[in-house]
Amino acid sequence: MSSSSSSVICSFVIILALFFNSLLLCNGGKTSIYVRKEEKTVDMPLHSDVFQAPLGYNAPQQVHITQGDHVGKAVIVSWVTQDEPGSNTVVYWSEGSKEKMKAVGKISTYKYYNYTSGFIHHCTVKNLEYNTKYYYVVGEGTSMRKFWFTTPPEVGPDVPYTFGLIGDLGQTFDSNVTLTHYEKNPMNGQTMLFVGDLSYADNHPNHDNVRWDTWGRFVERSAAYQPWIWTTGNHEIDFAPEIGETKPFKPYTHRYHVPYRASQSTAPFWYSIKRASAYIIVLSSYSAYGKYTPQNQWIEQELPKVNRTETPWLIVLMHSPWYHSYNYHYMEAETMRVMYEPLLVQYKVDVVFSGHVHAYERSERISNIAYNLVNGECSPVKDLSAPIYITIGDGGNIEGIANNMTVPQPEYSAYREASFGHAIFDIKNRTHAYYSWHRNHDGYAVQGDSTWVFNRFWHPVDESQ
């Protein structure tokens, strides 16, 4: 055989091998060919510009807002004053109006090991008009600070609305890039759905709560102007018996309030809101969820209340993902999945967003609810009544990227990539939403992954076809 013909055969064999190998690896969906350069993620130093306190004596800092009722006509305004309690009043007015209104809030402080917090203010501004820009002022004298927000449109089935998505943000240089990319994204997120793990203060000695303050100052540039909807992650627990801190969620619950009572919840870790055409259910991966527990009782009563004729889009947020395929936290949420997945499929949840795994992944519509201990049916199967599961714990925190994936890619995984980024869920009407994920290393308008999402109640068609 000539050397040229043997090299042709050799090339053919290699190509064939590569083909079968790719078949094996592409068992599931797509693993991105983009490989993020491995580098350390470090917290920005305390003197960073993004952490600077505002000028002025006792000036309000760490200003942030969230929805303050069940339907979007109220806002909780929160801030911290460092020197003295100061004014607990929010002065607000709608754009173009000369009439200024006032709401009075409450002030609290807490101690954590050797740290004492500043004066933490929470004030609910109620009876707002829908779809209206409001200005608001906190603080007094020369230290007054002015911000603004826009209320959502009235709840209704075809109201377009654009949600941003970030998880596991932390306060590293990468976190700063993630937040900037979200702010500069031309798709203009109107409300942030934050899927847990905020400051990562607990990665510092004795859970240094100064890092809760720096985080509050860092995100103010977004969170003071649009509501961030909060989910609790494991980095909110701050359970540290070795330093005498045995009350879980102490810093988080003092600093971040949510309107849980408005949805008949009995704790701030699970609750719901309606916003525009979406019904958003927030669950807690770190509160009891077994049979007879408060969270279980709540979700069993909550899901039947969702009226898809009023809010077609049913979105669930929780920190720990049920479906992903990275070798980190794998199956950590399995017991919660076993408990709640049948409900989510029964009530046709459109999409579930989670964090916790520091990478990005989108699943197919699948469920794993047929198993009953004896029938052996324990593999996820395609299920058009099931949600899409999106893991978006790639905010860029101090713990770094999760780049170790299970191989081959499981069938339930549609797309995965170990890069930092954020996402946008853009509701167009009752049938269609456009979802896109944006990696930090790209330009602001670039979409690293995207898909149309078809509503499970109004248009339950397979998007993957």
Catalytic residue numbers read 329
Segment interacting with Fe ion, rule: CB under 5 A, options 46-54, 227-235, 310-318, 409-417:
227-235
Report, in Å, the least distance between residue 389 CB and Fe ion. 16
331 token code pair: 């199956």
- Nearer to Fe ion (CB atom), residue 254 or residue 356: 356
The yes or no reply on residue 151 touching Fe ion (CB under 5 A) is: no
Nearest alpha-carbon partner for 436 in 424, 421, 422:
424
The CA-based angle 356-186-443, given to 5 degrees, is 70
**From the list 69, 197, 202, 426, which residue makes contact with Fe ion (rule: CB under 5 A)?**
197
Residue environment code for 7-32, b if the CB has 16+ CB neighbours within 10 A, otherwise e: eeeeeeeeeeeeeeeeeeeeebbebe
H-only helix segments in 304-459: 334-346
Q: How far apart are CA 138 and CA 79, in angstroms?
A: 8
Report, in Å, the least distance between residue 235 CB and Fe ion. 6
Q: Which residues contact 280 (CB under 8 A, 6 or more apart)?
A: 193, 229, 272, 273, 274, 315, 316, 317
- Nearer to Fe ion (CB atom), residue 51 or residue 286: 286
Report, in Å, the least distance between residue 149 CB and Fe ion. 28
Number of DSSP helices (H) and strands (E) in the chain, helices first: 6, 26
65 - beta bridge partners?
A: 77
Q: How many CA atoms lie within 13 A of 216 on its CB side?
A: 28
- Nearer to Fe ion (CB atom), residue 28 or residue 321: 321
Residue whose C-beta lies closest to Fe ion = 356
Report, in Å, the least distance between residue 397 CB and Fe ion. 9
Give yes or no for a contact between 386 and 366, defined as CB atoms under 8 angstroms apart: yes
State the binding string over 323-362 for Fe ion (x if CB under 5 A, else -): ---------------------------------x------
Report, in Å, the least distance between residue 286 CB and Fe ion. 9
By CB under 5 A, what part of segment 104-123 binds Fe ion?
none
Segment interacting with Fe ion, rule: CB under 5 A, options 71-79, 101-109, 169-177, 194-202:
194-202
The yes or no reply on residue 285 touching Fe ion (CB under 5 A) is: no
Report, in Å, the least distance between residue 356 CB and Fe ion. 4
The yes or no reply on residue 181 touching Fe ion (CB under 5 A) is: no
- Nearer to Fe ion (CB atom), residue 329 or residue 432: 329
Q: How far apart are CA 281 and CA 270, in angstroms?
A: 8
Do the strands 432-439 and 191-194 form a parallel or antiparallel pair, or are they unpaired? Answer: unpaired
194 - beta bridge partners?
A: 166
**From the list 191, 232, 234, 263, which residue makes contact with Fe ion (rule: CB under 5 A)?**
234
- Nearer to Fe ion (CB atom), residue 75 or residue 317: 317
Q: How far apart are CA 401 and CA 168, in angstroms?
A: 11
The yes or no reply on residue 233 touching Fe ion (CB under 5 A) is: yes
Report, in Å, the least distance between residue 450 CB and Fe ion. 25
Do the strands 115-116 and 111-112 form a parallel or antiparallel pair, or are they unpaired? Answer: antiparallel
State the binding string over 355-394 for Fe ion (x if CB under 5 A, else -): -x--------------------------------------
Q: Which residues contact 236 (CB under 8 A, 6 or more apart)?
A: 196, 197, 198, 249, 251, 252, 286
Segment interacting with Fe ion, rule: CB under 5 A, options 87-95, 113-121, 175-183, 232-240:
232-240
- Nearer to Fe ion (CB atom), residue 287 or residue 447: 287
- Nearer to Fe ion (CB atom), residue 224 or residue 418: 418
Q: Which residues bind Fe ion (CB under 5 A)?
A: 197, 233-234, 356
